[in-house]
A and B are shown apart, each in its own frame.
Chain A
Amino acid sequence: DGGITQSPKYLFRKEGQNVTLSCEQNLNHDAMYWYRQDPGQGLRLIYYSQIVNDFQKGDIAEGYSVSREKKESFPLTVTSAQKNPTAFYLCASSWGAPSNQPQHFGDGTRLSIL
């Protein structure tokens, strides 16, 4: 079945530690996205990538980093510079064009501080 796989489902981070969230898609989509969702809040865009080896900052990129070395993979690293990383992280993908295509989402990763 085609879809987006996020792992792990739950992740715990110690102070000063970097952690990486995995996102893999087999939909052959061009674009991939990372969102952060805090309790009772909407989705805030962290980073997005339109094509391999290229990505753009979203609205809250500080303290995060990404890479896009393969079309199907878009890992997100939460660095120690992100002082409040506890949140629900959602990965999504979509066709770059046409623009009327919806995003497909993974099941999310819940990140907590130890």
Chain B
Amino acid sequence: AQKVTQAQTEISVVEKEDVTLDCVYETRDTTYYLFWYKQPPSGELVFLIRRNSFDEQNEISGRYSWNFQKSTSSFNFTITASQVVDSAVYFCALRTSGTYKYIFGTGTRLKVLA
């Protein structure tokens, strides 16, 4: 069975704090892809990053960074020096090779307080 778990339902931080959103996945497939999306209050989901199962290199994009660890089946997302504009719901998703379905976690609502 495939599953994505985002155990943190809601996180509140004060602006400029660092925050990490956790994502744990389950799959028996050896080739799979992981994604992070941001859903601002307006509703549309915005794609942030993709990671292939065979590429464990971490990635940094400005204030955003992602830590992929196959040993713990985790793909965590860190926002450094958070800003109010980072307030949104963040979803982690999994897709395995050869399939069309994306498995989403339940999302983490991040509130950044000024």
Contacts and interface: CB of A to CB of B under 8 A. Distances in A.
Contacts, number: 57
Interface string B54-98: 000000000000000000000000000000000000010101111
B50 A100 contact: yes
B100 A31 contact: yes
- The size bracket of the interface on A is 20 to 34
Interface string A96-108: 1011101111111
- The size bracket of the interface on B is 20 to 34
Interface stretch (B11-19, B20-28, B102-110): B102-110
Contacts of B91: 42-43
Contacts of B101: 45, 48, 58
Given A99-B98, A104-B47, A107-B44, A42 B104 contact: yes
Given A100-B52, A100-B95, A107-B44, 20 more contacts: A31-B100, A40-B109, A41-B106, A41-B107, A42-B91, A42-B104, A88-B43, A90-B45, A92-B45, A96-B100, A99-B95, A99-B96, A99-B98, A100-B33, A102-B35, A102-B37, A103-B35, A103-B47, A104-B47, A108-B43
Interface of B: 31, 33, 35, 37, 42-47, 50, 52, 91, 93, 95-102, 104-107, 109
